[in-house]
Amino acid sequence: MTEGTALRRTTPVAVNSSSDQFSVGGLEAWYGESHVLHGVDFEVKRGEVVTLLGRNGAGKTTTLKSIMGLIGRRRGSVRFEGSELIAAKPDKIARMGIAYCPEERGIFSSLTVDENFLLPPIVRKGGMSVDDIYELFPNIKGRGASQGTKLSGGEQQMLAIARILRTGANFLMLDEPTEGIAPVIIQQIGRTIQRLKEKNFTILLVEQNFRFAAGIADRHYVMDQGRVIDEFSNDELHKNMAKVKAYLGV
Ligand SMILES: Nc1ncnc2c1ncn2[C@@H]1O[C@H](COP(=O)(O)OP(=O)(O)OP(=O)(O)O)[C@@H](O)[C@H]1O
Ligand SMILES: [Mg+2]
C-alpha cells in the first residue's frame, strides 16, 4: 500500500491527554536499512487492556521492541507517566515500570523454574509477592526445581508472565501469549489477564487470536504495514467483525 492509499483512522488519537498512562506518537523504526514502522500512533489509559491486532509482518512485535528500546534506530515519541522515553535505554525503560514478555518467552533451558522466576531484577517498589504470583498461576506452583523447558508451552508462557510481576512493573506488554497453546490454557491465561487488570496493571497485548482478545480487552488497534490503521472499542468489535476479519485476512 502506498502512502497515498494508506487507510486512515476516523478517530483521531488524543496523544498525551491526562488520563493516558502511555502513548506512542509517530513511532518509526528500522532494522538496518529496512524501514519497518512508519509512524505508529496509539495510547493506553491506566488500567486498560488494549490489543494490537494485525497480520503477520504488520509491525506488532517491532512496536513492542521499539517501546522497550530494543531496536537500534527509532524515532518519534514514547511517553509513559509523563516522561519521554524515545531516547532512553532498555534498563531505564524497565526501571520506569514497563515490562516486556516476548513471543519466544525467553525461558532459559539450563535454569530451573525458580531460577527463571527469580531472574529479572526488582526494578520498582510495588511488585507482587511470590505467594501472590503463585496464587495467580497454580500450574507452576510446586514446579520450582524442574528445568524451565520441562514445562509445557502453556506453563512456560505462564512462567514468562509470572516472572515480570515480581519486578514492580505496572505496564505489561505481552506478545502473542496464546500462540501455540491448548485452548484450556488459553482460557486460563485470559482469566489471569483479567485478574491482573483488576489489580490495576495496564496491559498492551499483541494478538492474532481476536476471539481471545475480544474476551478480555477494552480496546483494539489494528496495525498494517507499520502503522495503526483502525481502532475499535471492544463493544464495537462485534458489529465490525467483517472489517476486522478483512484486516486480519481470516
Ligand atoms: N530482525 C529483523 N530484521 C529485519 N527485518 C525484520 C526483523 N524482524 C522483523 N522484520 C520485518 O519487520 C516487519 C514487521 O515485523 P514484526 O515482527 O514486527 O511483525 P508482527 O506484526 O509482529 O508479525 P507476526 O504476526 O508474524 O509476529 C516484517 O516485514 C518483518 O519481516
Ligand atoms: Mg510478532
Q: Which residue ranges have their beta carbon within 6 Å of ligand 1?
A: 31, 34, 36, 54, 56-62, 208
Q: At what angle do helices 183-198 and 153-165 cross, to 10 degrees?
A: 10
Question: With b meaning 16 or more CB within 10 Å and e meaning fewer, what string describes 192-216?
Answer: bbeebbeeebbbbbbbbbbebbbeb
Residue 176 Cα: closest atom of ligand 1: 27
Domain assignment of residue 222, yes or no: yes
Domain assignment of residue 236, yes or no: yes
Burial of 6: CB neighbours in 10 Å, binned 0-12, 13-18, 19+: middle
Q: Is-contact 248 210, C-beta < 8 A?
A: yes
* pLDDT given at position 211: 87
Domain assignment of residue 230, yes or no: yes
Domain assignment of residue 19, yes or no: no
Q: How many independent structural domains does the chain possess?
A: 1
Q: Which amino acid would we find at residue 215?
A: G
Ligand nearest to the CA of 208: 1
Count of positions (residues) in the chain: 250
Domain assignment of residue 175, yes or no: yes
Residue 89 has pLDDT above 70, yes or no: yes
* pLDDT given at position 143: 87
Domain assignment of residue 39, yes or no: no
* pLDDT given at position 235: 94
Q: Cell numbers 490489543 correspond to what residue?
A: 51
With cut-offs at 50, 70 and 90, classify the pLDDT of residue 207.
very high
Substitution site in 24, 34, 62 for ligand 1 pocket (most atoms within 8 Å of beta carbon): 62
Q: Is-contact 27 40, C-beta < 8 A?
A: yes
- The verdict on pTM exceeding 0.85 is yes
Residue 16 has pLDDT above 70, yes or no: no
Dihedral angle of Cα 230, 232, 236, 241, to the nearest 10 degrees: 50
Residue 11 has pLDDT above 70, yes or no: no
Task: Give the tens place of pLDDT for each residue, 110-162.
Answer: 899 999 988 888 988 888 998 899 899 988 888 888 888 888 888 899 999 99
Q: Is-contact 159 133, C-beta < 8 A?
A: no
Percent of the chain scored above 90 by pLDDT? 68
Residue 2 has pLDDT above 70, yes or no: no
Query: Smallest Cα–Cα separation from 44: which of 166, 165, 172?
Result: 172
Structural domain including 163 reads: 47-70+89-248
Residue 222 has pLDDT above 70, yes or no: yes
More confident residue, 208 or 98: 98
CATH label of the domain that carries residue 59: 3.40.50.300
Domain assignment of residue 171, yes or no: yes
Residue 7 has pLDDT above 60, yes or no: no
CA of 148 to the centre of ligand 1 (A): 27
Q: Is-contact 219 55, C-beta < 8 A?
A: no
Domain assignment of residue 33, yes or no: no
Task: State the average pLDDT over residues 100-106.
Answer: 90
The number of helix segments (H) and strand segments (E) in the chain equals 9, 10
Dihedral angle of Cα 247, 248, 249, 250, to the nearest 10 degrees: -130
Q: How far is CA 224 from CA 38, 62, 211, in A?
A: 10, 12, 19
CA of 173 to the centre of ligand 1 (A): 17
Can you state the percent helix, strand and coil of the chain, rounding each to 5? 35, 30, 40
Residue 10 has pLDDT above 70, yes or no: no
The protein residue with its alpha carbon nearest to ligand 1, atom 4, reads 31
* pLDDT given at position 19: 61
Task: Give the tens place of pLDDT for each residue, 26-76.
Answer: 999 999 999 999 999 999 999 999 999 999 999 999 999 999 999 989 999
